[in-house]
Amino acid sequence: DQQVKQNSPSLSVQEGRISILNCDYTNSMFDYFLWYKKYPAEGPTFLISISSIKDKNEDGRFTVFLNKSAKHLSLHIVPSQPGDSAVYFCAARSNQGGKLIFGQGTELSVKP
What size, in residues, is the chain? 112
Residue 6 within binding range of another protein, rule CB under 8 A? yes
Among the residue ranges 14-22, 30-38, 59-67, 71-79, the one whose residues contact another protein (CB under 8 A): 30-38
End-to-end CA distance of the chain: 38
In angstroms, give the least distance from the CB of 16 to another protein: 29
Contact 77, 19 (CB under 8 A): yes
Residue 89 within binding range of another protein, rule CB under 8 A? yes
Residue 53 within binding range of another protein, rule CB under 8 A? no
Residue 20 within binding range of another protein, rule CB under 8 A? no
Residue 44: Cβ within 10 Å count: 19
Residue 11 within binding range of another protein, rule CB under 8 A? no
Helix (H, G, I), strand (E, B) or coil at 34: strand
Measured from the CB atom, the residue of 40 and 112 that comes closer to another protein is: 40
Residue 45 within binding range of another protein, rule CB under 8 A? yes
CA distances 1 to 10, 25, 101, Å, are 22, 11, 11
Contact 35, 20 (CB under 8 A): no
What residues make contact with another protein under the rule CB under 8 A? 4, 6, 9, 32, 34, 36, 41-46, 49, 51, 89, 91, 93-94, 97-105
